[in-house]
Amino acid sequence: MSSTTPTGPPPVPPSKPILSTPGSYMSSFQSGHTATIHSINKTHDKPAIAARPIPPPTVPKYSSSFGKIDRERNEFGGNKIDRLEREKEGIGGSYRLASLDRLANRQRLLEQNNGLGQVDAKNNGVIDNNNGQNGGNLNSGLQSKREMFFKGEAQVSPQGPPPQPPLINSSSIQNNINEKNHINTNGTHTNNTVQNSINKLIMKEKEANELNHHQDSNKLATERQEKEKQQAIVRPKVKELDGYVGFANLPNQVYRKAVKKGFEFTLMVVGESGLGKSTLINSMFLSDIYNQEQHPGPSFRAKKTVAVETTKVLLRENGVNLTLTIVDTPGFGDAVDNSNCWTPIIDFVESKYEEYLTAESRVHRKAISDSRVHLCLYFIAPSGHGLKQLDIEFMQRLHDKVNVIPVIAKADTLTPEEMQQFKKQVLNEIAQNKIKIYDFPEPLEDEEEAKALRQLRTRVPFAVVGSNTVIEVEGRKVRGRKYPYGVVEVENLDHCDFIALRNMVVRTHLQDLKDVTNNVHYENYRCRKLAGLGNDGKTKLSNKNPLAQMEEEKREHDSKMKKMEAEMEQVFEMKVKEKKQKLKDSELELTRRHEERKKALELQIRELEERRKAFEQEKAEWEQQNNVTLEELRRKSLEANSKETMDGKEKKKEKKKGLF
């Protein structure tokens, strides 16, 4: 046995640590070793867990969530047939019951077969799904991985365990299934279901070997897996786990919470009166939400202005609660002048956003109930002549505020050819007017289911027929409309697109509609609303929260102020400097002038002094010459004057007299 040689890779491809697609996940659990993690009576199998070798010691009661995952695979990535089957059954519950029975059965087998049986039992339970899935399993991403496994196995095949007789207690069905596993997990790239029958005999021996191996070395599974994992280095970025950790259970935890919380959905129907809005709603949710006697559709009441009316109902299906709010707009397009008849509708949509925004931005928040309009079904009259002006106007105004899906009402008035033409025209006009209707996301996986989805997608705009009555056709009871020339079945894709609409809206994209509403339309609304606040009408949108922006503005302003101050300071400095310079200049000038004057004065003084000196000298010389001092002379003359003054005075008097 390879398990005894530590280096030899095990013959059984292990459950891989990294599995990204449902397909691979199926294959992994088929090959894996089941742990008794579920309580029998409640659970379907949860493959991710089942594939893990380490049994958790406690037995958690994870409720029905495991089954959900499985079913979800069927819905999204897996089997179409299964769903149709379920539809035929009419009630999902019966499906569920059936799966529970299978589970119980599986558990019994599991106990009998110890380990090996688990695998089988699981397959037993999901066999009907596998066929559909195997084809899609082998998408390219996985192939390489499988090839790797394959090679790994091929290398060591000589060391592989010797053939052993097949186990007797495994039933032929189990064998068959195991074979399928084997092929699948060994990395066969061709369609399983085809190869299955061909390979049956060839593989039988090896298979038995495998089975035996399972039983014998059940305990060694862990070890083997670890070894295998060492080989299977898939993504270096992702940390590898040695064995089951358990966070693969997170989706179940989410599921539990979601179911407990329940769901809310708001659907708005807009269209002229008499296009069958109420009937379609009834048909879509298979219940009399509008009922002529007790709950007449709004249009049965005498109101002729555009109003917006809501009807709230609680629906329950398989334990899932849905609070459905239908928003009707009676009177839309009924008036003579229909300009602005969309205003009340826009107001309604925005008021719901506003409500949500207010609730969301409260300081003390409570659980916010989501009453935003998640989807607007717009009813187009089956005129065969394209859209009316009102249709275009309305959709143009609403398409960036809410998810709009146009539907062609009362589609039983157009022949398929006419319908084809009409649809084309409608889509053209929508494109021409740049209307963005809700775009169903492209399915990711290239599987059968995705193909089916893609096909449904091409039916936009859905041409629908609604009916409140159930008619018996060839022994079947169907919702339909009976005409003298035949019965229009609502739930028949050949007759109309009702199923496409319901499946796309309710079964596959309800959550996406909610997410788009929340992440796109609501965010846009919030953005518009708050941007008006934050930017004072400026169109520049910063990627900041308004408060942070305020802080930033403050900082900006501060720096602006500083800059301004600095500038002013600079100017100021300059001015002061200038002024000072001027002062200095004038001082200098003044000083200069002063100096000049002073110099001139000094010069004069000096000159004067010189002259004085010269004069003194002359005087002295003269005095010396004449041996007389001026003083003496002055004295003498004074003496003489005293005598002469009288004469002089008299003389003057005489002179004066003489003048006259």
Give residues 95-134 in contact with other proteins (rule: CB under 8 A): none
How many residues form the binding site for other proteins (CB under 8 A)?
162
Instruction: Say whether residue 503 binds other proteins (CB under 8 A).
Output: yes
Within 453-482, the residues that bind other proteins by CB under 8 A are: none
Within 212-251, the residues that bind other proteins by CB under 8 A are: 217, 219-220, 222-223, 226, 235, 237-251
Encode burial over 535-572: b for 16+ CB neighbours within 10 A, e otherwise: eeeeeeeeeeeeeeeeeeeeeeeeeeeeeeeeeeeeee
Shortest Å, Cβ 15 to other proteins:
8
**Pick from 49, 51, 100: which is nearest to 71 by CA?**
100
Within 428-457, the residues that bind other proteins by CB under 8 A are: none
Shortest Å, Cβ 111 to other proteins:
21
Shortest Å, Cβ 48 to other proteins:
3
Instruction: Say whether residue 637 binds other proteins (CB under 8 A).
Output: yes
**Pick from 367, 345, 342: which is nearest to 356 by CA?**
367
Rounded Cα distance, 206 and 193, in Å: 19
Are 39 and 106 spatial neighbours (Cβ–Cβ below 8 Å)? Answer: no
Instruction: Say whether residue 61 binds other proteins (CB under 8 A).
Output: yes
DSSP, res 6 = T
Burial status of residue 72 (CB atoms within 10 A of its CB: 0-12, 13-18, 19 or more): middle
Instruction: Say whether residue 540 binds other proteins (CB under 8 A).
Output: no
DSSP, res 507 = I
Within 173-212, the residues that bind other proteins by CB under 8 A are: none
Stretch that binds other proteins, among 173-181, 196-204, 541-549, 649-657 (CB under 8 A): 541-549
- CB count, 10 Å around CB of 475? 5
Shortest Å, Cβ 386 to other proteins:
32
Stretch that binds other proteins, among 189-197, 418-426, 454-462, 559-567 (CB under 8 A): 559-567
Shortest Å, Cβ 593 to other proteins:
9
Q: What are the strands, taking DSSP E only, across 27-177?
A: none
Instruction: Say whether residue 86 binds other proteins (CB under 8 A).
Output: yes
**Pick from 283, 127, 289: which is nearest to 193 by CA?**
127
Shortest Å, Cβ 538 to other proteins:
12
Shortest Å, Cβ 98 to other proteins:
14
Within 605-634, the residues that bind other proteins by CB under 8 A are: 605, 608, 611-612, 615, 618-619, 622, 626, 628, 630, 633-634
Instruction: Say whether residue 601 binds other proteins (CB under 8 A).
Output: yes
* CA dist 332 → 123, 196, 304, 395, 401 (Å): 55, 59, 9, 13, 18
Kindly tell me which residue out of 81, 167, 313, 346 binds other proteins, with binding defined by CB under 8 A: 313
Instruction: Say whether residue 335 binds other proteins (CB under 8 A).
Output: no
**Residue 451, beta-bridge partner list:** none
Rounded Cα distance, 232 and 226, in Å: 10
Within 343-402, the residues that bind other proteins by CB under 8 A are: 357-358, 361-365
Could you tell me the strand order of the sheet in which 470-473 lies?
470-473, 476-483, 486-489
Q: Which distant-in-sequence residues (6+ apart) come within 8 Å of 23 by Cβ?
A: 77, 133, 134, 136, 137, 138, 139, 142, 447
Kindly tell me which residue out of 76, 148, 166, 427 binds other proteins, with binding defined by CB under 8 A: 76
Kindly tell me which residue out of 158, 162, 201, 316 binds other proteins, with binding defined by CB under 8 A: 316
